[in-house]
């Protein structure tokens, strides 16, 4: 698959579903205007690239998405413990992504699914288990992928500069985000079913006593 095809497909499907009434299911409390603001800003910033070092380049669109997610998280009321949990989650996701990718660089023999997908799967499932909010999942995944790729490039320099925010990079990020959204939805569904089951049990116990 050509780089960027998945990104374009995901954005197109998201735009269609959001416009047809699936916004709450897909992105929670994020309004359509805020989502449009994110997309327009990322599109405007996409052509601009900065050199962090001889081996690493950074697209301005990546910085824009990080700032947008940070602002979205700050607007929602959260305790200090929740903020610390999210930051710790970023560190753990970075370590997981780094260890898996580095393991395949050193010895690509032990493969769970595919070298290109194992890190994405682990990070996505972890983000979905940690939080179900769209902006928090995006924040956690983009920071962890950014940090892991920088560390991997510094440890193992590439023949050409690695571009943070390239089309293939966005493909990886959005793949992990899709997995995170599905994992979070599954956790919410299981919690709902458990609550209903407990409610029925309490109702049956109350009925049996009478």
Each residue's pLDDT tens digit, 165-175: 888 899 999 99
Structure confidence by residue, pLDDT tens digits, 6-48:
888 888 988 888 888 888 888 887 888 888 898 899 889 888 8
Mean pLDDT of 92-113: 80
d(CA 126, CA 118): 12
The burial class, CB within 10 Å (0-12 / 13-18 / 19+), for 77 is exposed
pLDDT (0 to 100) of residue 174: 92
Q: What does the alpha-carbon distance between residue 42 and residue 10 come to, in Å, rounded to a whole number? A: 15
Please name the residues in contact with 11: beta carbons below 8 A apart, sequence gap of 6 or more: 39
CA distance linking residue 157 with residue 55, whole number of Å: 7
- Per-residue pLDDT of 56-91, as tens digits, reads 889 999 999 999 988 888 776 666 777 788 888 888
Tell how far CA 111 is from the center of its chain: 22
pLDDT at 208 over 60: no
The pLDDT value recorded for residue 101 is 84
Render pLDDT for 137-149 as a digit per residue (tens, 0 to 9). 999 999 999 999 9
Predicted confidence at residue 96, as pLDDT, reads 87
Q: What's the pLDDT at 178?
A: 92
């Amino acid at each position: 698959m050509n780089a960027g095809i998945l990104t374009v497909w995901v954005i197109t499907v998201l735009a269609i579903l959001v416009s047809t009434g699936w916004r709450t299911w897909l992105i929670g409390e994020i309004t359509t205007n805020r989502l449009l603001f994110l997309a327009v800003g990322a599109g405007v910033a996409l052509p601009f690239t900065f050199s962090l070092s001889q081996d690493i380049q950074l697209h301005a669109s990546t910085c824009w998405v990080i700032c947008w997610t940070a602002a979205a998280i700050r607007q929602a009321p959260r305790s200090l413990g929740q903020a610390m949990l999210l930051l710790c989650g970023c560190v753990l996701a970075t370590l997981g992504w780094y260890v898996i990718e580095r393991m395949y660089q050193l010895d690509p023999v032990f493969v769970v699914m595919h070298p290109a997908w194992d890190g994405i799967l682990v990070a996505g499932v972890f983000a979905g288990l940690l939080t179900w909010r769209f902006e928090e999942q995006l924040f956690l995944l983009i920071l962890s992928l950014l940090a892991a790729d920088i560390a991997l490039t510094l440890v193992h320099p590439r023949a050409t500069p690695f571009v943070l925010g390239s089309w293939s990079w966005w493909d990886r990020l959005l793949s992990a985000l899709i997995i995170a959204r599905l994992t979070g939805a599954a956790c919410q569904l299981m919690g709902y079913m458990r609550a209903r089951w407990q409610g029925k049990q309490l109702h049956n116990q109350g009925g049996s006593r009478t």
